[in-house]
Every structure is written in C-alpha cells, then in structure tokens.
C-alpha cells in the first residue's frame, strides 16, 4: 500500500502521525462541507495526476 499526500507525493509507509497534517488540512479545507475534501481526494483523475507526477 502507498500513501499519496496532499502534494501528490508517494510515501512507502505512512503512519497515523505522519498523515495527521493532511487529515487536519482536509477537515478545514472547506468549512461548509468538511467531508467533501475526503471525497475529492479519491477521484480517479487525482490518483492519475499524482502517479504521473511521481513517474518523473
């Protein structure tokens, strides 16, 4: 399993503490729809962009 952070960087092993900043950022990104960021994170197009970024 790999972890893609908010910047689209791939991490081999991510602990709860190492992902805490992304979690907090996601909850505060849109105060009117705090769950929305978590949904947008998992759009296939976002995965593809991150994977393409990390190929270089």
DSSP 2-45: -EE-TTS-EESS--HHHHHHHHHHHHHS-TT-TTHHHHHTT-HH
Q: Which of 16, 38, 17, 18 is nearest to 27 (CA)?
A: 38
Q: How far apart are CA 31 and CA 56, in angstroms?
A: 35
* Mean of pLDDT values over 20-47: 75
Share of residues in the chain with pLDDT > 70 (%):
86
Q: What is the pTM of this model?
A: 0.59
């Amino acid at each position: 399993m790999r972890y893609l952070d908010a910047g689209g960087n791939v991490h081999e092993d991510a602990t709860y503490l190492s992902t805490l900043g992304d979690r907090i950022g996601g909850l505060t990104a849109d105060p009117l729809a705090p769950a929305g960021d978590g949904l947008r994170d998992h759009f296939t197009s976002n995965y593809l962009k991150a994977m393409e970024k990390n190929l270089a």
